[in-house]
């Protein structure tokens, strides 16, 4: 960890809006490997000068179509050869469960992540870094996981046409994630970070009523379980999810990312929900970083912090999604340096 990285208790204080000496930073995971290939030591050396305040750990996740050789049943597919050539389709059209006739078998063969060595890395990271805020990663939670199982188009129809079957499948996926939480809880990580891209640029993929019927109760169970281990629960969800923000706060979501630029109104979001949830706002990767000047990037970075920083903290500085080589190296340097420097400045003034 960087010598100026925030300590575990400092991060928790900032996220719980109880005081912060600097805006916490979670940036490196969003810098694409092609950036390092293109910009070389200039980028690598610069990135190492900026503290990253979260130590990310993983577990051994199931395969998709292919299972690991030492655990042949540990995958999301239940057949080696699908009924149709699913592997040739786009990811949003593939179906691990091509027919509802197979639902009982599918649930019976759901992958089990509670294998002793699957969380060894997380356990060791916690032991080696007692003062770090450790985040356990577990992407593709409910909507994302369900559509990889059924296909996106079919799932959206299933919500209306096959509600009982969807509920059974959702609960089985919930039980998988509960086991992941148990694994991370045993490892004593500080937060679990999952993903569920439920929004388009304008609205949810489905109605808020569908969310409240199928997905909200499942999330409530995961959040309650995480909190029982004193872990925070974080959610990445792209798109406009304004219509379910109250629901997410109601069930105890701790951190939400990225409040996507051009999809959600940042100032309106903070006005409506600030003080009740911690934001991990993402700097704009669609326009600001790739197409604007260094000076504009500095200004935009400061505006992001000014918008989302609440009394006592309440924000993590991040990116709205991954960046690649359409972003000039000088713009990467500009937003990272500004996020650090200005994050120190505004917090010191608020004391």
Mean pLDDT confidence for 126-153: 96
pLDDT score, position 136: 98
Q: How many CB atoms lie within 10 A of CB 182?
A: 17
> Is residue 73 included in any domain, yes or no?
no
Give kind and range of the element (H or E) at residue 219.
Answer: helix 216-228
Mean pLDDT confidence for 212-228: 98
* Average pLDDT value over all residues in the chain: 94
Instruction: Tell me if residue 61 falls in helix, strand or coil.
Output: coil
Task: Enter the pTM of the model.
Answer: 0.95
> Is residue 105 included in any domain, yes or no?
no
> Is residue 71 included in any domain, yes or no?
no
> Is residue 153 included in any domain, yes or no?
yes
How many domains does the chain contain in total? 1
> Is residue 209 included in any domain, yes or no?
yes
> Is residue 1 included in any domain, yes or no?
no
Domain that holds residue 167: 8-61+113-350
Any idea what the CATH number is for the domain that residue 146 is in? 3.20.20.210
Backbone angles phi, psi at 327, to 5 degrees: -95, 120
> Is residue 178 included in any domain, yes or no?
yes
Check residue 21 and give left, alpha or beta (phi > 0: left; psi -120 to 50: alpha): alpha
Residue 299, classified by CB atoms within 10 Å of its CB into exposed (0-12), middle (13-18) or buried (19+), is middle
For residue 81, pLDDT beyond 80: no
| pLDDT (tens digit per residue) in 57-74 | 999 999 999 898 899 899
| pLDDT (tens digit per residue) in 174-205 | 999 999 999 999 999 999 999 999 999 999 99
């Amino acid at each position: 960890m960087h010598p100026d990285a925030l300590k575990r208790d400092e991060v928790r204080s900032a996220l719980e809006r109880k005081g912060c000496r600097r805006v916490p930073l979670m940036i490196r995971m969003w810098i694409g490997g092609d950036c390092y290939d293109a910009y070389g030591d200039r980028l690598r050396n610069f990135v190492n000068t900026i503290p990253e305040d979260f130590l990310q750990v993983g577990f051994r996740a199931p395969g998709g179509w292919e299972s690991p050789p030492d655990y042949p049943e540990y995958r999301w597919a239940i057949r080696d050869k699908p009924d149709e050539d699913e592997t040739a389709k786009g990811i949003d059209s593939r179906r691990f469960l091509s027919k509802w006739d197979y639902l009982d078998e599918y649930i019976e063969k759901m992958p089990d992540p509670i294998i002793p060595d699957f969380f060894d890395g997380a356990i060791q990271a916690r032991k080696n870094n007692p003062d770090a805020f450790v985040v356990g990663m577990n992407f593709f939670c409910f909507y994302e996981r369900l559509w990889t199982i059924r296909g996106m188009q079919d799932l959206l129809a299933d919500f209306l046409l096959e509600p009982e079957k969807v509920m059974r499948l959702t609960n089985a996926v919930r039980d998988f994630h509960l086991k992941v939480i148990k694994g991370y809880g045993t490892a004593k990580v500080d937060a679990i970070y999952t993903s569920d891209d439920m929004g388009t640029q304008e609205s949810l993929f489905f109605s808020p009523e569908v969310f409240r019927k199928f997905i909200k109760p499942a999330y409530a169970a995961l959040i309650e379980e995480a909190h029982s281990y004193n872990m925070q629960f974080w959610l990445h969800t792209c798109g406009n999810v304004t219509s379910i923000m109250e629901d997410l706060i109601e069930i105890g979501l701790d951190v939400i990312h990225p409040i996507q630029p051009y999809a959600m109104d940042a100032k309106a979001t903070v006005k409506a929900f600030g003080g009740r949830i911690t934001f991990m706002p993402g700097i704009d990767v669609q326009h600001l970083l790739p197409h604007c000047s260094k000076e504009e990037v500095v200004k935009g970075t400061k505006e992001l912090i000014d918008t989302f920083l609440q009394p006592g903290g309440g924000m993590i500085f991040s990116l709205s999604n991954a960046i690649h080589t359409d972003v000039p190296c000088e713009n990467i340097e500009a937003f990272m340096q500004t996020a650090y420097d200005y994050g120190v400045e505004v917090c010191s003034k608020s004391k």
